[in-house]
């Protein structure tokens, strides 16, 4: 039986899973959950995921609803080699650290920029939120500058950390909150991801552009 993924195409968390699934060539039974319509609150979905978040992956009796856990699980099941989640402990520690940074710092600060606009109806992002978000981007720029020309953990090819990060960074770019001139190392890394990840345009770029346009439409000039 194929794995079932509850998702919404515009969600960067869902897009990271779609990209990784394509990279390891695993078919998914995709089931859309429209957050705008409140479908995540339907009793049948809450019964699957009491936190009612997406993405949610169902593999038999296993249910996962944290995107980064889904990424590492898919690699463990279907990865053809160890490159996406290296076994070398030091390299894996770097990958894990980036996953935690993306979850606990970068995406949290991104929420501080967009949630006041798209959820609370603020006319524009708060200055403090923008300041903190760009501080986090600066940390990513510094981290990536330690191994220019490679991927996020210093590897020659992408790891699960790159799949997690690229879905977010491409969204920042599409929404107009990422200045390539200010972050040249991140920009160069993003271009490597675009050229390397199978199905990038179809699975990530188009939906990121749509989400970016939605965010821009909410900001009052």
Catalytic residues: 11
Could you give the CA distance from residue 169 to residue 178 in angstroms, rounded to a whole number? Answer: 8
Helix axes 127-145, 89-101, angle to 10 degrees: 160
The candidate with the shortest Cα–Cα distance to 173, out of 151, 150, 154, 189, is: 189
Could you give the CA distance from residue 16 to residue 36 in angstroms, rounded to a whole number? Answer: 20
Order of strands, sheet of 28-32, starting from the edge strand that comes earlier in the sequence = 28-32, 3-7, 56-59, 62-64
The candidate with the shortest Cα–Cα distance to 176, out of 216, 136, 121, is: 216
């Amino acid at each position: 039986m194929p794995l079932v993924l509850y998702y919404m195409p515009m969600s960067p968390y869902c897009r990271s899973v779609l990209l990784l699934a394509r990279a390891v060539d695993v078919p998914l039974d995709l089931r859309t959950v429209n957050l705008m319509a409140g479908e995540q609150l339907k009793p049948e979905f809450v019964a699957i995921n009491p936190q009612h978040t997406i993405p949610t992956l169902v593999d038999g009796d296993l249910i996962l609803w944290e995107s980064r856990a889904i990424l590492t699980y898919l690699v463990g099941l279907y990865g053809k080699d160890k490159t996406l989640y290296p076994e070398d402990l030091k390299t894996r520690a770097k990958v894990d650290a980036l996953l935690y940074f993306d979850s606990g710092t970068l995406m949290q600060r991104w929420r501080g920029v967009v949630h006041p606009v798209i959820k609370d109806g603020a006319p524009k992002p708060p200055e403090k939120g923008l300041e903190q978000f760009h501080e986090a981007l600066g940390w990513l720029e510094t981290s990536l500058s330690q191994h220019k020309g490679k991927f996020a953990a210093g590897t020659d090819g992408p790891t699960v950390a790159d799949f997690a990060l690229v879905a977010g960074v491409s969204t920042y770019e599409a929404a107009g909150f990422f200045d390539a001139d200010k972050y040249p190392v991140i920009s160069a890394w993003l271009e490597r991801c675009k050229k390397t990840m199978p199905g990038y345009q179809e699975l990530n770029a188009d939906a990121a552009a749509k989400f970016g346009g939605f965010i821009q439409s909410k900001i009052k000039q």
